[in-house]
Amino acid sequence: MSYTIAEIAKALGAKALGDGAISVTALAEPADAGPDQLALATKPEYAEALPKGRARAALIWEGADWQALGLEAAIVAPRPRYAMSGLTAMMDLGEGWGEGIHPSAVIHESAVLGEGVHVGPLTVIGAGASIGAGTRIGPQVSIGADARIAEGGLIREGARIAARVRIGARVILNPGAVIGGDGFSFVTPEKSGVESVRETLGDQGDAAAQSYVRIHSLGSVRLGDDVEVGANAAIDRGTVRDTVIGDRTKIDTLVMVAHNVVVGTDTLLCGLVGIAGSTRIGNNVVLAGQVGVGDNLFVGDNVIAGGGTKILSNVPAGRVILGYPAMKMDAHIDMYKNLRRLGRLVADVAQLKKSVSKDGQSD
Amino acid sequence: MSYTIAEIAKALGAKALGDGAISVTALAEPADAGPDQLALATKPEYAEALPKGRARAALIWEGADWQALGLEAAIVAPRPRYAMSGLTAMMDLGEGWGEGIHPSAVIHESAVLGEGVHVGPLTVIGAGASIGAGTRIGPQVSIGADARIAEGGLIREGARIAARVRIGARVILNPGAVIGGDGFSFVTPEKSGVESVRETLGDQGDAAAQSYVRIHSLGSVRLGDDVEVGANAAIDRGTVRDTVIGDRTKIDTLVMVAHNVVVGTDTLLCGLVGIAGSTRIGNNVVLAGQVGVGDNLFVGDNVIAGGGTKILSNVPAGRVILGYPAMKMDAHIDMYKNLRRLGRLVADVAQLKKSVSKDGQSD
Amino acid sequence: MSYTIAEIAKALGAKALGDGAISVTALAEPADAGPDQLALATKPEYAEALPKGRARAALIWEGADWQALGLEAAIVAPRPRYAMSGLTAMMDLGEGWGEGIHPSAVIHESAVLGEGVHVGPLTVIGAGASIGAGTRIGPQVSIGADARIAEGGLIREGARIAARVRIGARVILNPGAVIGGDGFSFVTPEKSGVESVRETLGDQGDAAAQSYVRIHSLGSVRLGDDVEVGANAAIDRGTVRDTVIGDRTKIDTLVMVAHNVVVGTDTLLCGLVGIAGSTRIGNNVVLAGQVGVGDNLFVGDNVIAGGGTKILSNVPAGRVILGYPAMKMDAHIDMYKNLRRLGRLVADVAQLKKSVSKDGQSD
C-alpha cells in the first residue's frame, strides 16, 4: 500500500502542501515516523516530536508552518481528527483472511450467500441463514438458523450470531461478540423479595425464599445498519419482541445489553457498559465506560453520562450526568467539592455547638 | 407450532374464557399481535394497546373483562408473569440445530455420550469426558478432558468447559460462557504493598516492588442442577478445592466469578457482577447489575443488593443494600437526600459561624 | 503424579520434618485431605481442621508444632503462600490436550511453528504467523495473519489473537481472551457534545446531533513476556501505534484494555477492570476488581486502587486510592465515616439555627 501526498489529500478533500509526489506507505506518530511514513502532527505538542523521527511529510493542523517544521510535504485538514477516518481507512491492512469460501466451513445447504461473500475456516452457517453481498466472515464464527446479515458486513473471529438475528448493512462484529444470548428473565411462583423491595425501596416484606423458573426468550436481536459491536460484548434476545440497536450505534468491548432493550441511533456505549432489561436509550446518547442503567428505564436523546455513572431513574433528553446515583454533572462536581470539605464541616458544627451552648449558659 | 387456547390454558393450569378452539402460533405484545397470535395483556396498561393490534385472544389478569377488551378468547392466570414461564416454553422455537452427532465434531474415543445427545459441528470433546442423556451441545463448543455434564443440558455456541469441570442436570450455558478459566492467584516472594494496605487500610509500608509468581489452579468448577450461565460470563477454577455454584442459581451475561467462590442455591447474579476470590454467597441472594463483592467475604442468605453496589465487608442474612461502599438501602436513600442538600448545609454553617462570632463579639 | 515429602521440600527449598518418605499425590484443604494428600495447614486457623481430615502430612507455618498437630511429616516454608507457587506447579494436572499438531487444525502453509509446538483440534493459524518452541495451543484458537508468539506459551480454548499481534515468551491466554479487537475510536464531522462537555465539565454547548465515522485501528497489540490474560478479557488494537502490556503483568477475567493503552511491568489488573483509550498505567500497579480508568490519563508506579475505584484524573506514583471519584484511601475512609453521620449533622445544624435565631431574638 503506497500513496502519494497528493493522492491522499485528494481522497480526504484536504490541501496538499510542498512536494505532492512524495509517497508514504503507513501512518506513524511523529517520533516514530520513518521517511516513507506520514507523521500525524495534528497539534503543536505532537509536532514537537517531529525532529526525533525522520518524517518527510505529515498531517498538520490549519495554520501550521510546514516548512518551519522541517517537512518536505504536508496535508492540512480543517478538522484533523476527522481526516483520520479517511486516512486510516486507506491505510488499513485488513485481517489477511484471503477470499472465497474456505472448504472447512460448515454451511447448511439451505443457507444463501450473496456475491463476493468470504467465509473463513471452521465457520458454521445454519439452516436458512442468509448473508448479504460482500460480507466478510472470519474463522470460527457461528451463524444460527434463519439469521440474516445484510451486505458489506465484517464478522470477526469467533463472533456468535444466534438463530433468527437480523443484522443490517456494513455491520462490524468484533471477535467473541455474542448477538442473541438468552435474556435473563426468571420468575418465582409467588411474589418475591425483589418485587417487594422495588415497591418499598428497601423492604423485602415476608416473601418466602423461592426457586426461579425460566421465561424463555422468544424474541431475537436486530442490529441496524453501520452498527459496530466490540470484542466479547453481548446483546441478549428479547422475551417476546426483539432487542433492538439503532442505525450507526457503536457498542464497545465487553458491553452488555439485556433483553428487550431498545437503543436508538448514533449512540455510543463504551467499554463495560451494562443496560438492564427493557430499558430504552435514545438517539445520540453517549454512555462512557462502566456506566450502568437499571431495568425498565428511559434515557432521552443526547444524554451524556460520564465514566462509572449508575443510572437508577429516567433521564430527560439532553442532560449531562455523572455519579452513583446519577445526577447532573455540574451538581455532582459541586457536591463532590463539598464532600471533600465534610471533615471541616463536622468540626465547625462541633465548635458551633460548644460556642452556642456556652452562649446559652451565659444567658 | 400451533396450540388452541384450551390446550394452552390446560398446560398452564389456567382458566380459558370464550372460544377455546381459537388457535395461536406465537406470542406478541398487544399492539403487534396478529389474529393468530396470543396477546400478552397482563395489566390494564398493556391491554390499552389491544385495539392497535388484531389479537383475537390474550393472556389477561384476574378480574379483567375479556369481552370488554374486544377479545374472542382469553386465558386468565392468577400470576400472569409466572404463566409466562410455561407459555414461553411451549412457544420456544429452539436453535434449529437438528439432531445427532455432526461428523465434523472432534470427539475423543474415550468420551462417553448418553442417549439422545446432540453434538453440533466443529465441537471438541476431550478424553474421558462424559455427557448425560439428552444434552444438546451446539457448534464450536469445547469440552475438556474428564469434564462431566449431566442429563438434559443445553450448551450453546462456543461455550468453553475446561478439564475436570462437573456440570449438573439441565444446565444452560450461553454462547461464549467459560467454565474453568485460570484463577487469578499470584504471590510475591516478600510481603507486598497490597498485603500492607489490607492491614492498614491505606498504607503500603515500605514494600519493595516485586514480580508475581503464579499459583496454579488445581481445583476445577462445579455447577449444580438447573444452573444457567449467561453469554461470555466466566467462572474461574479453584486453587485447591473447586469453585462451586449451587443448584438453580442463575448467572447473567458477562458475570465474573473468581476462584474458590462458593455461591449458594436459588441465587441471581445479574449482568457484569464480579465476585472476587474465596468469597461465599448465600442462598436466595440477588445481586443486581454491576454489583461487586470483594475477596474472602461472606454474603448471607436472602441478601438483595441494588445495581452497582460494591460490597467491601461481610453482609448479614436478609439485608437489602445499595451503594459504594454498600449500606442498608433505606439508610443509603436517606444519606443521598442529605447529600443533595449538602451545599445548603455548608451555607447554613457558614452563616451560623458569622452569627455566633457576632454574638460572641457582643458578649 | 506422586512425590515424597522430601522431594517436595527439596524442590521448594523448604524444610522437611518427620517421615520424608511419605508420598502424596495431590494437595487438599485440611478438612478434605486424605492420607495420600498434602494438607495446606499454613495458619493456625487452617490447622484446626486437620482432625476432620485424614492427612498424614501438611504444609505448615514456621514455628508450628507438627507433632502436636498429629502429623507424621511436614514441610515448613518461611512464606507458605509463596511456597504454594512451586507446590501447585508440581501438582498441576494440565489440560489433557495431548501432543503434536491435530489434523483438524487449519494452518496456513506460510506459518512457522517451532519445535514441540502443540496445536489443538480445529485451531486456525493464519498466513505468516510464527509460533515459538514449546508453545501449547488448545482447541478452536484463532491466530491471525503475521501474528507472532514467542516460546513456552499456553493459549487456551477459543482464545483469539488478531493479525500482527506480538506475544512474548511464556504468555498464558485463558479461554475466550481476545487480543486485538478493534479500538473504539470514532469521530464526528463537527465538534461533538462530548468534546464540549470535556472542556466545560458539564455543558454540551449547542453541538448538533451527528453520526460517527470510524477511525480504523492500524496498530496492533504487544504483550510482554510472562503476561497472563484472563478468560474473556479483551485488549484492543492501537490506532497508529500498538497497545502495549509490559512484562510479567497479569490481567484477570473480563478485563478490558482499550486502544493505545500502555500498561507497565509487574502490574495486576483484576476482574472487570476497564482502562479507556490512550491511558498509561505504570509498573507494579494493582487495580482491584471493577476499577475504571478514564481515557488519556496517567497512573503512576506502585499505585494501589481498591475495588470499584473510578479514576477520573491522573494519579501520582505510590498513592493508595479508593472511591468514585478516586481519592486517597485514608481520606475516603474518613469521609465515609462522616457521611454516615450526615443525618445527625443535618439535625445538629437545624437545632443550632433554632438556638442561634432564639439568641438573636433575645438580643
Dump pLDDT digits (tens) for B39-68. Answer: 999 999 999 999 999 999 999 999 999 999
Q: Which of A110, A137, A140, A160 to mutate to test the interface with B (most CBs of B within 10 A)?
A: A160
Whether C218 and C242 have beta carbons less than 8 Å apart is answered as no
Testing the interface with A: which of B272, B324, B330, B332 to mutate, by most A Cβ within 10 A? B272
Top residue of A182, A194, A334 to mutate, by most chain B CBs within 10 Å, is A182
What is the per-residue pLDDT for C215?
A: 96
* Total beta-carbon pairs less than 8 A apart between chain A and chain C: 247
* A180 C-beta neighbours (distance < 10 Å), count: 31
Chains that touch B (3 or more CB pairs under 8 A): A, C
Express each pLDDT in C227-251 by its tens digit. Answer: 999 999 999 999 999 999 999 999 9
Nearest chain A CA: its distance from C111 CA (Å): 13
Confidence of residue A205 (pLDDT cuts 50, 70, 90): confident
Which residues on chain A are in Cβ contact (under 8 Å) with B349?
Answer: 345, 348-349, 352
Task: Report residue A304 as a C-alpha cell.
Answer: 451524556
The whole-angstrom separation of Cα B172 and Cα B152 is: 9
Residue of A211, A214, A234 lying closest to B232 (CB–CB): A234
Residue A64 predicted with pLDDT over 80: yes
Q: Give the pLDDT of residue A197.
A: 92
3-class DSSP assignment, residue A321: strand
Antiparallel, parallel or unpaired: β C186-187 and A73-76: unpaired
As beta bridge partners, residue C143 has C125, C161
The beta-carbon contacts of B190-199 under 8 Å, at least 24 apart in sequence, are: B190/C79, B193/C284, B193/C286, B193/C302, B193/C304, B194/C286, B194/C304, B197/C304, B197/C306, B197/C320, B197/C329
pTM, rounded to two decimals: 0.96
Q: How far is CA B192 from the centre of its chain?
A: 35
pLDDT value for A38: 97
Neighbours of C6 (CB within 10 A): 16
- Cell reading at B224: 449444580
Of A140, A175, A304, the CB nearest to C162: A175
Residue A293 clears pLDDT 50, i.e. is over it: yes
- Give the burial class of B328: count Cβ atoms within 10 A of its Cβ; 0-12 exposed, 13-18 middle, 19 or more buried: middle
Instruction: Quote the CA–CA distance of C125 and A276 in Å, as a whole number.
Output: 38
Distance from CA of A222 to the nearest CA of B (A): 16
Q: From CA B243, how far away is CA B258, in angstroms rounded?
A: 8
Residues of B in contact with C308 (CB under 8 A): 292, 310, 312, 324
Catalytic residues of B: 259
DSSP state letters, A158-206: T-EE-TT-EE-TT-EE-TT-EEEEPP--EE-SS--HHHHHHHHTS--TT
* C-beta of residue C176 within 8 angstroms of C-beta of residue B161: no
What phi-psi label fits residue B140: left (phi over 0), alpha (psi between -120 and 50 degrees) or beta?
Answer: left
Residue of A nearest to B354 (CA): A352
**Residue A95 in grid coordinates:** 485481517
CATH architecture for the domain at A3-91? 3-Layer(aba) Sandwich (3.40)
Neighbour subunits, A (≥3 Cβ pairs < 8 A)? B, C
The 3-state secondary structure of chain B, one letter per residue: CCEEHHHHHHHHCCEEEECCCCEECEEECHHHCCCCEEEEECCHHHHCCHHHCCCCEEEEECCCCCCCCCCCEEEEECCHHHHHHHHHHHHCCCCCCCCCECCCCEECCCCEECCCCEECCCCEECCCCEECCCCEECCCCEECCCCEECCCCEECCCCEECCCCEECCCCEECCCCEEEECCCCEECCCCCHHHHHHHHCCCCCCCCCCCCEECCCCCCEEECCCCEECCCCEEECCCCCCEEECCCCEECCCCEECCCCEECCCCEECCCCEECCCCEECCCCEECCCCEECCCCEECCCCEECCCCEECCCECCCCEEECCCCEEHHHHHHHHHHHHCHHHHHHHHHHHHHHHHHHHHHC
Give DSSP secondary structure letters for A53-119.
Answer: S--SEEEE-TT--TTTTT-SEEEE-SSHHHHHHHHHHHH-------SSB-TT-EE-TT-EE-TT-EE
User: What are the angstrom distances between the C-alpha of B139 and each of A97, A108, A141, B131, C186?
Assistant: 22, 13, 10, 15, 34
Query: Is A302 in Cβ contact with C209 (below 8 Å)?
Result: yes
Q: pLDDT by residue (tens digit) across A116-147?
A: 999 999 999 999 999 999 999 999 999 999 99
Task: Provide, as residue numbers in chain C, all residues whose Cβ is less than 8 Å from the Cβ of B128.
Answer: 96
Distance CA A119, CA A107 (A): 9
> Measured between alpha carbons, how far is C172 from C161 in angstroms, rounded to an integer?
12
How far apart are the CA of B343 and the nearest CA of chain A, in angstroms?
7
User: What pLDDT score does B363 carry?
Assistant: 44
Query: Are A230 and C239 inside 8 Å of each other by CB?
Result: no
* Per-residue pLDDT reduced to its tens digit, A333-344: 999 888 888 888
What residues 117-176 of chain B have any CB closer than 8 A to a CB of chain A? Answer: 120-122, 138-140, 156-158, 172, 174-176
Question: How many C-beta neighbours within 10 Å does residue B68 have?
Answer: 8
Residue count (chain B): 363
In tens, the pLDDT along C181-194 reads: 999 999 999 999 99
Instruction: Please give the pLDDT value at position A359.
Output: 61
Answer yes or no: do C304 and B197 touch at CB < 8 A.
yes
Measured CA to CA, the distance from residue C141 to residue C14 in angstroms comes to 39
Arithmetic mean of pLDDT over chain C: 95
Q: Percent of chain C having pLDDT more than 70?
A: 99
For residue C184, give the nearest of A91, A138, A253 by CB distance.
A253
Instruction: Say yes or no: B95 contacts chain A, CB-CB below 8 A.
Output: yes
**How deeply is A39 buried, as exposed, middle or buried, from its count of CB atoms within 10 A (0-12, 13-18, 19+)?**
buried
CB proximity A45 to C under 8 Å? no
pLDDT value at position B362?
Answer: 46
- Shortest distance between the Cα of A363 and any Cα of chain C, in A, equals 9
The dihedral through the CA atoms of A12, A18, A20, A25 has a sign that is negative
Chain B touched by C317 (CB under 8 Å): no
CB contact under 8 A, C202 and A268: no
Give the confidence band of C211 by pLDDT, cuts at 50, 70, 90. very high
**Nearest residue to C224 via CA among C278, C167, C179, C273:** C167
Query: Which residue out of C108, C118, C216, C259 is catalytically annotated?
Result: C259
Quick one: three-class SS letters along A214-238? Answer: ECCCCCCEEECCCCEECCCCEEECC
- pLDDT, residue A360, reads 55
Whole-angstrom distance, CA of residue C176 vs CA of residue B158: 9
DSSP string spanning A247-276? TT-EE-TT-EE-TT-EE-SS-EE-TT-EE-
Please give the grid coordinates belonging to residue A97.
483472511
Give me the residue from A79, A158, A353 closest to C158, CB to CB: A158
Q: Which residues of chain B have pLDDT under 50?
A: 362-363
Q: Phi/psi at B93 (nearest 5 deg)?
A: -80, -10
pLDDT for position A361: 57
Mean pLDDT of A164-172: 98
pLDDT greater than 60 at residue C361? no
Distance, in Å, from the CA atom of A253 to the CA atom of C181, rounded to the nearest integer, reads 8
Which residues in A lie closer than 8 A to residue C253 (C-beta atoms)?
Answer: none
> What are the residues facing B311 on neighbouring strands?
B293
- How many beta-carbon pairs below 8 A join chains B and C? 246
How far from C257 is each of A34, A216, B68, C172, C282, CA to CA, in Å?
28, 34, 57, 17, 14
Amino acid A363: pLDDT: 45
CB-CB neighbors (< 8 A) of C339 in chain B: 335, 339
| pLDDT for residue C209 | 85
Helix axes B329-340, C329-340, angle to 10 degrees: 100
Residues 6+ apart with CB under 8 A from A234: A177, A178, A179, A181, A255, A256, A257, B175, B176, B230, B231, B232, B253, B254
Q: Mean of the per-residue pLDDT values for chain A?
A: 95
Is residue A256 predicted with pLDDT exceeding 60? yes
Instruction: Return the higher-pLDDT residue of B77 and C271.
Output: C271
Task: Over range C25-42, report the average pLDDT.
Answer: 96
Q: What is the pLDDT of residues B239-281, one digit of tens each?
A: 999 999 999 999 999 999 999 999 999 999 999 999 999 999 9
Residue B320 touches chain A, beta carbons under 8 Å:
yes
- Gap between the Cα atoms of A177 and A234, Å rounded: 6
CA distance B304 to chain A (A): 7
Task: Kindly determine whether residue B29 and residue A241, on different chains, have CB atoms separated by under 8 Å.
Answer: yes
Residue-level pLDDT at B361? 57
Contacts of B189 by beta carbon, 8 Å cutoff, 6+ apart: B210, B213, C79, C82
Q: Of B157, B215, B332, which to mutate for an interface test with C (greatest number of C Cβ within 10 Å)? A: B215
Bridge partners, residue A310, by sequence: A292
Query: Could you report the per-residue pLDDT of A268-285, keeping only the tens digit for each?
Result: 999 999 999 999 999 999
Q: Give the number of beta-carbon pairs within 8 Å between A and B.
A: 248
- Interchain contact B107–C (C-beta under 8 A): no
Q: What is the ipTM of this complex?
A: 0.96
CB contacts, 8 Å: A233 with chain B: 232
Distance of CA C188 to the CA centre of its chain: 34
